[in-house]
Copies of this chain bind each other. A is one copy, B any other.
Amino acid sequence: MKRKCIPLGSRLSLLCPPALALILLIATGGLFAEDGPLPSWNEGPAKLAIIDFVAQVTTPGSDRFVPPADRIATFDNDGTLWPEHPMYTQLAFALDRVKALVPQHPEWKTTEPFKSVLAGDMAGVAASGEKGILELVMATHAGMSTAEFEQIVTDWFKTAKHPKFDRRYTELGYQPMLELLDYLRDHGFTTYIVSGGGVEFMRPMTMEVYGIPSQQVIGSSIKTEYQVVNDKPELMRKPDVNFIDDKAGKPVGINQFIGKRPIAAFGNSDGDRQMLEWTGAGSGARLMMLVFHDDAEREYAYGPAEGLPDTKFGTFSQDLMDEANNKGWSVIGMKDDWTQIFTSDQ
């Protein structure tokens, strides 16, 4: 894995960014103070890139100053703010729902992909392909009102646990990313989630886990339909895809929901590539960062480095790493950059 510095604008091109950030760190006492910003981040290029960027866009009078209304930062969720292994949390939810709903669907016992789900045969589920996964999603995510679905998700998050860490999913937000979200908000940023995950699956937990309110959560969605049943208006969830907020869909979703281009974007996989490109293509100071999962002991290790496995959940291709290096996007190595992984770590 090769990394480069993030490029600075023409005015600052003679200064090496880490050196500049170091000066800022020292000036703000960050290097010595126990209670400096981003305490779970080791000193290093990733932390320096963040602090340097925030200093640039928040310094009044600077030609890189950005007014608070335009300080938009977008974050992928799975693999960027919490784990995406051994599978996306939403898939774990769908599998649990199949098991919970099988009494009402006895035919699932003999029909794929449900049969494989019930047998715990993940290879069989995978063999059903995209069509099978979509069938699972629709069977478990549609056919009820938005209020009912919200309640189902809320209840699930109260008890469901991650298989490796044996903790509730809501306890597995990445502590350093939480600190980053807070740090940006403390500096006038508005923080958004822009995820391939279902928007109505995420919203019940984003405030509690990330401090991000529902209107700042952009995600994939199925269609909903307004119906008045017994004089009571409901939004019914239909088994049709409305929007896929992934890859080239991320800039589309950002434009549709926010109507402004972010100045900072954070991801961890090929699904975030276009979001980072779109963010980086604006003028002025920009910060694009990718979380790289290289910590098999404390979390998982996968992606474009020798000896690391490729993965279906959160593919980080060598192509993406090359683009990151070419464009000066910053790569966060979990192992070296983070002193703590989860908010619930002791």
Contacts and interface: CB of A to CB of B under 8 A. Distances in A.
Interface of A: 69, 146, 190, 199-200, 203, 213-215, 217, 221, 224-226, 228, 232-233, 235, 242, 248-249, 251-252, 255-260, 274, 277-278, 281
Contacts of A248: 225-226
A163 to B, nearest CB: 29
A146 B224 contact: no
Contacts of A226: 248-249, 251-252, 274, 278
A257 B215 contact: yes
A224 B255 contact: yes
Nearest to A147: B261
A29 to B, nearest CB: 33
A257 B221 CA distance: 11
Contact of A233 (B249, B251, B257): B251
B259 A215 contact: yes
A255 B215 contact: no
Contacts of A233: 251, 274, 277-278, 281
A246 to B, nearest CB: 11
A95 B226 CA distance: 33
A223 B334 CA distance: 37
A278 B147 CA distance: 12
Given A214-B260, A215-B257, A226-B251, 6 more contacts: A215-B258, A215-B259, A215-B260, A226-B274, A232-B281, A233-B274
A249 B235 CA distance: 10
A232 B146 CA distance: 39
B255 A235 contact: yes
